[in-house]
Amino acid sequence: MYQSPISPGRSWYEDSIPDRPTYPSLDGDRSADVVIIGGGFTGLSAAVHLAKSGTDAVLIEAYRFGDGASGRNGGQMGTGQRAWAEEQEAELGLGRARALFDLAEEAKSHLLEFTTTNGIDIDYRAGQMSVAHKPRYVAEYKAHAEIMAERFGYPHLSFMDSAETAERLGSTHYYGGVLDTGTGHIHPLKLLVGTAKAAAAAGARLFEQTRSTGISSRNGKVVVETPNGTITADKGLIAVNAYGGDLEPVSAAHVMPIGSFIGATPPLPADTPVLPGGEAVDDSRFVVRYFRKSADNRLLFGGREIYGVKDPKDIHIHIRRQITEIYPALKDVELTHGWGGYVGITLPRRPFVREVLPNVISAGGYSGHGVMLSNFVGKLYAETVAGNRDRLKLFEELNVPAFPGGRRFRSPLLFLALSWYALRDRI
């Protein structure tokens, strides 16, 4: 059984997918119109859209498609960008905030259309709740629902008081929140595998187990080195997000990997009080908890942690403790799976999209909001290659500063900052 070498544990997703084709590794030199590094949602979505528009694309992935964040995440699509629309408005003005929100709405409908057009079953289930773990956040959620309807034309968000929240969650742990009926949650690995198949069917040349050891721009060409061959192309897309290491310094300075972990329970009884409506949930903690039920009624429960967890047993312990705080009745339920991955975050929690070398665009840093955005950024990249950069520009123009401290010192600095926020979650 294949176990991703970059996850500290096997995911329930890997065990619930019927067919995960493998792709060859690169052996020999290639030339192409576009070279893509990274086989997650960003890279594979770009490959599909490029290939469908007749562009010759070569994509390489260091491990297997979906071994990065895309195959192992919480599956929550969300609405808008990671930062709330009103926060964007305060900084960017209503016009730009609205443009970013509308783009994210398009990302959402694009994802659902894309899966329908390409016959990909993603176990889509509607409904998402964001809930307050402290009474002081309840008023913010109420105001948020009103602002979204009035200023951003989004009618699907409704405020929930503590009684409704308790009923919908099957838990009295939270104080209120919002219900979003205009979004939902999915099986991410099914989407990822389906996207790879669609890319291959459209004619993209896909390679797994092929790590790029360097990318450069030389004499008007983009050159990507791998251990067994060089790819030369007119344009390049770096889609390595939190997993890029030292591949390219500008991306590395702006996108920071943060570990996040998920545990799966066995299927719960059909009449379980846990999430009777089947919505996904995220909470107001800075070190956010996110959970939902799978198509076969398991509770998939995620929590970000500020320290690295390498041993799957530790994931089980941490996640079970968090589940029990919210659902004490599940205290004796053993988890069947525990796994983890890296979320790519940026300082202002906005996507990082930038031309980092001549004709090379880097995209990532969706800050925990990439399920719909990364797929859409792949499409916008293909639009850019076809000559229309207007919409990708909306992301490129966002102010995303580098993390202070450089590659060496930013982790300790972030650790301190996260520790402070984690402490604040508790008081």
Ligand X SMILES: Cc1cc2nc3c(=O)[nH]c(=O)nc-3n(C[C@H](O)[C@H](O)[C@H](O)COP(=O)(O)OP(=O)(O)OC[C@H]3O[C@@H](n4cnc5c(N)ncnc54)[C@H](O)[C@@H]3O)c2cc1C
- Is residue 268 close enough to count as binding ligand X by CB under 6 A? no
**Which range of residues in 17-25, 27-35, 167-175, 237-245 is near ligand X by CB under 6 A?**
237-245
Say what angle helices 138-152 and 94-117 make with each other, to 10 degrees: 90
Return the number of the residue (141 or 301) whose C-beta is nearest ligand X. 301
DSSP 72-119: TS--B--SS-SS-HHHHHHHH-HHHHHHHHHHHHHHHHHHHHHHHHTT
Q: From the CB of 301, what's the least distance to ligand X, in Å?
A: 11
With CB under 6 A as the contact rule, the residue among 57, 196, 231, 240 that binds ligand X is 240
> Which residue, judged by CB position, is nearest to ligand X in the bound state?
370
When binding is defined by CB under 6 A, the residue of 152, 342, 352, 395 that contacts ligand X is: 342
**374 touches ligand X by CB under 6 A:** yes
211 binds ligand X (CB under 6 A): yes
Residue 66 C-beta: closest distance to ligand X, Å: 7
158 sits in the region (left: phi over 0; alpha: psi -120 to 50; else beta) called beta
Among positions 9, 74, 263, 348, the unique one binding ligand X when judged by CB under 6 A: 74
3-state SS class at 223 = strand
**If binding is defined by CB under 6 A, does position 75 make contact with ligand X?**
yes
Nearer to ligand X, 39 or 127 (CB): 39
Token reading at 135: 């009474």
> What residues numbered 277-306 form the site for ligand X, per CB under 6 A?
290, 302
For the record, the structure tokens of 364 come out as: 């990532």
Give the pairing of strands 289-293 and 299-304. antiparallel
- Residue in 55, 199, 370, 381 binding ligand X, rule: CB under 6 A: 370
Q: How far apart are CA 256 and CA 49, in angstroms?
A: 27
- CB proximity list for 393: less than 8 A, separation 6 or greater: none
Residue 76 or 171 with smaller CB distance to ligand X: 76
Question: Taking a C-beta distance cutoff of 8 angstroms, is the pair 29, 232 a contact?
Answer: yes
Nearer to ligand X, 162 or 411 (CB): 411
CB of 177 to ligand X, least distance (A): 16
68 binds ligand X (CB under 6 A): yes
Q: Does 263 bind ligand X (CB under 6 A)?
A: no
Tokens matching residue 84: 């709330």
Binding mask 20-59 for ligand X (x = CB under 6 A): -----------------xxxxxxx----------------
Is 69 an interacting residue with respect to ligand X (CB under 6 A)? Answer: yes
Of residues 176 and 188, the one with the C-beta less far from ligand X: 188
Residues contacting 415, CB < 8 A, separation 6+: 306, 307
Q: Which residues are bridge partners to 125 per DSSP?
A: 185
| Cα(258)–Cα(425) distance, integer angstroms | 17
* Pairwise CA distance, residues 421 & 24, whole Å: 44
- Determine which residue in the list 12, 13, 23, 63 makes contact with ligand X, applying CB under 6 A: 63
Q: What does DSSP assign to residue 307?
A: S
In the complex, the residues that contact ligand X under the rule CB under 6 A are 37-43, 60-63, 67-70, 72-76, 78, 211-212, 239-244, 247, 260, 262, 290, 302, 340-343, 364, 366, 368-371, 374
